[in-house]
Amino acid sequence: MKISSSEDSFLLSDGNKIPCIGFGTFGLDNNKKGQDIIKTAISLGYRHFDTASLYGSEEILGKAIKASGVSRDELFLTSKVWKDDMAPGDIRKSFDRSLHALGTDYLDLLLIHWPRANENDEEWEEHLLMAWNTFIFLKQEGKVKSIGVSNFLPQHFDVIHSCSEKPVVNQIEFHPGYMQTGTVDYCQRHSIVVEAWSPLGRGALLNHPVVEEIAKKHKVSTAKVLLAFCLAHNVLPLVKSSSKERLKDNLSLFDFNLSEDDLYVLRGIAEKTGWSGQHPDLSIPKAKVGDF
């Protein structure tokens, strides 16, 4: 599906559509201030919101949606089940808590947030298989329209390969300094839409000289260069900002085109520039729901 406007969507392999730019709520102020930012984003035209049980932002997102007056069916809402809640009963409890906090009776997309609970879990494959089958049941029960995963590498997909439904999305860290080419290739070959978390390299790439030079050439912000970089690789960016001007700027990224040369130069940025330091198997976050 060709993406040429912020109102366009990616087609998921289950037939559903997902708006091509998402608003990420990780790290957002979880009180009135955060709620106001989301309200502003909705008023500017954002329709795709990404949250997680871990982030603590589901409630403010629910409140902002209610206050916005925009109807539920115009919005695309994603949430995630945290890695410590992967037992079938815990998944259902987490999911119900998410629905309640968001003030909705269904999700557009539910993701397994992390493939394994910790580095020492020798039974992670069994746990993952059980978790994914529970996700399939939730979908069959009509409580969630699409199901997917986050922070998965090809070896994690292997575990659930023979299940009756495949993940339609993999949300991973993606930016010029951490492109995860093997994983992106794997996903795209299997019709799994890749979503980018931290598409701006957690802010670290915004002042990178290579990005600055390209931004200057096109007379756009460095943020727009980085978001356009995602879309040029068929990766869906999840972007966040606390400023109305920047929120607006980030939505208007279709007024210029990155050339093949620009993309080549951006891909040459040193590996791990702006990297979070997180790895699905080797450096698993310790955070528990409620820590944020």
Q: Is 78 in the site for ligand A2P (CB under 6 A)?
A: no
Q: Is 55 among the residues known to form the active site?
A: yes
User: C-beta of 65: minimal distance to ligand A2P in Å?
Assistant: 20
User: C-beta of 248: minimal distance to ligand A2P in Å?
Assistant: 9
User: C-beta of 178: minimal distance to ligand A2P in Å?
Assistant: 11
DSSP-derived secondary structure for the chain: ----STT-EEEPTTS-EEESSEEE-TT--SSHHHHHHHHHHHHHT--EEE--TTTT-HHHHHHHHHHH---GGG-EEEEEE-GGG-SHHHHHHHHHHHHHHHT-S-EEEEEES-S-S-TT-TTHHHHHHHHHHHHHHHHHTTSEEEEEEES--HHHHHHTTTSSS--SEEEEE-BTTB--HHHHHHHHHTTPEEEEESTTTTTTTTT-HHHHHHHHHHTS-HHHHHHHHHHHTTEEEEE--S-HHHHHHHH-TTSS---HHHHHHHHTSPTTTT----BTTTB-----TT--
With CB under 6 A as the contact rule, the residue among 6, 51, 104, 250 that binds ligand A2P is 250
Q: Is 266 in the site for ligand A2P (CB under 6 A)?
A: no
Contacts of 112 (CB under 8 A, 6+ apart): 80, 81, 83, 86, 128, 131, 132, 135, 148, 149, 150, 152
Among the residue ranges 80-88, 141-149, 180-188, 236-244, the one whose residues contact ligand A2P (CB under 6 A): 236-244
With CB under 6 A as the contact rule, the residue among 51, 53, 146, 241 that binds ligand A2P is 241
- Contact of 108 with 145, CB cutoff 8 Å: yes
Size, binding site for ligand A2P by CB under 6 A: 17
Q: Is 51 in the site for ligand A2P (CB under 6 A)?
A: no
With CB under 6 A as the contact rule, the residue among 12, 65, 184, 223 that binds ligand A2P is 223
Q: Is 212 in the site for ligand A2P (CB under 6 A)?
A: no
Decide whether 113 or 240 has the Cβ nearer to ligand A2P. 240
Q: Is 206 in the site for ligand A2P (CB under 6 A)?
A: yes
* Phi–psi pair at 195, nearest 5 degrees: -105, 145
Number of other CB atoms surrounding residue 163 within 10 Å: 13
Among the residue ranges 47-55, 97-105, 144-152, 195-203, the one whose residues contact ligand A2P (CB under 6 A): 195-203
With CB under 6 A as the contact rule, the residue among 9, 188, 234, 242 that binds ligand A2P is 242
Which is catalytic among the residues 55, 106, 178, 264? Answer: 55
Q: Is 177 in the site for ligand A2P (CB under 6 A)?
A: no
Q: Is 150 in the site for ligand A2P (CB under 6 A)?
A: no
User: C-beta of 249: minimal distance to ligand A2P in Å?
Assistant: 5
Among the residue ranges 52-60, 121-129, 145-153, 235-243, the one whose residues contact ligand A2P (CB under 6 A): 235-243
Binding site residues, ligand A2P, CB under 6 A? 198-203, 206, 221, 223, 239-243, 246, 249-250
The residues that are catalytic are 55
